[in-house]
Amino acid sequence: MTYPSPTEMHFSRFIAAPLTLVWRAHTEQGQLERWWGPEGFSITTQEMDVRPGGRWKFIMHGPGVSTDPNSPFGGPPTDYPNLIQYEEVVPEATLVWSHGNFEEVMFHVTTTFKAEGDGTRLETTMRLPSQAARDAKATYAVPGHESTMGKLEAYLRHPHHELSFTRVLQAPVASVWAAWTVREQLMPWYCPKPWQVTECEIDLRPGGAFRTLMHGPNGEIHDLMSCYLVVEPERRLIWTNALQPGYAPASKPWCTCAVELQAVSETETRLTARVMHADSATCEDHAKMGFPHGWHVALDQMLASLVQ
């Protein structure tokens, strides 16, 4: 760790993993939640949208086991509200964000990603409002960063097959549920335009069919047949194409999808989407197709359809 200026801290770290995997670990909710924060800490995401102007709103759950009187993490287990607001997102190159609690920005961070041999070099600079603020944060940021990077390295040594995100939608939970489960409401928004859903079958029960026929602008056709596994009205919907309707095995399984809904208020719904794959290669292919960007575009279309 170095001090480039009176208000900055700089960390340089080599991660023994390919650039693409390190980038995804920093930008996909399901991966971030598994390693972000020092040892013993865990994450509960309330909202995540990794794009300029987007934000990651989460609670960091501290273990509260430190006996060091100078540590901010001593005493009983404590929840720490965190809000990251993304300012610049350059895929596999740069992340710039402001970081604070739900009420104020406390510091700014720039992280660059660069392939180095078979691994990735991370260069991270934290900028605080004053030298006093920097010096105070350094007492726990330095060991905290070291612990967090250790967790990242350990996580990347094991395969991960899940993609996920959380988003707060400006619509009541009943409306969002209907948009996912009523054929006439789902078809207009379910795939990003200019793609279209031309046929749809929804048999809304465990073991029931969920089929969509999608047509692309250049003649592409995707005919997807899935089987519902869990149907909990206005709460949870899970389906898989590893099974045909009636739980018959499918010949070419690809993924299992889960959508969880939670009413934040009478007019807001927190949606968490998880897509689970059989292997790393399939997960990687899905990420390259544009997950989660394509889902966000489709959800924007859904919200627009609800206003009409």
- pLDDT tens, position by position, 125-166: 999 999 999 999 998 888 899 989 999 998 898 767 888 888
Q: Show me where the domains of the chain are located.
A: 8-65+73-160, 163-307
pLDDT given at position 159: 65
Number of neighbours of residue 167 by Cβ within 10 angstroms: 20
pLDDT above 90 for 234: yes
Mean per-residue pLDDT for 248-255? Answer: 89
- Residue 120: pLDDT above 90? yes
Share of the chain above pLDDT 70, in %: 95
Q: Rounded to 5 degrees, what angle do the CA atoms 227, 269, 102 make?
A: 130
Tens digits of residue pLDDT in 67-76: 444 544 455 6
Given this model, what pLDDT does residue 51 score? 93
Task: State pLDDT tens for residues 182-207.
Answer: 999 999 999 999 999 999 999 999 99
pLDDT of residue 75: 55
pLDDT at 245 over 60: yes
Residue 250, pLDDT score: 92
Contact 180, 186 (CB under 8 A): yes
User: What's the pLDDT at 67?
Assistant: 44
**pLDDT single digits (tens) 259-277:** 999 998 999 999 989 899 8
- pLDDT score at 12: 96
Backbone φ and ψ of 218, nearest 5°: -110, 25
Residue 77 has pLDDT above 90, yes or no: no
**pLDDT, the chain, mean:** 91
138, 2 contact by CB (below 8 A)? no
Would you state the pLDDT for residue 66?
Answer: 47
Confirm whether 8-65+73-160 and 163-307 share one CATH topology: yes
CATH of 163-307, one of 3.30.530.20, 3.40.190.10, 1.10.40.30, 3.40.309.10: 3.30.530.20
Higher pLDDT, 21 or 288: 21
Q: Which fold has domain 8-65+73-160?
A: Alpha-D-Glucose-1,6-Bisphosphate; Chain A, domain 4 (3.30.530)
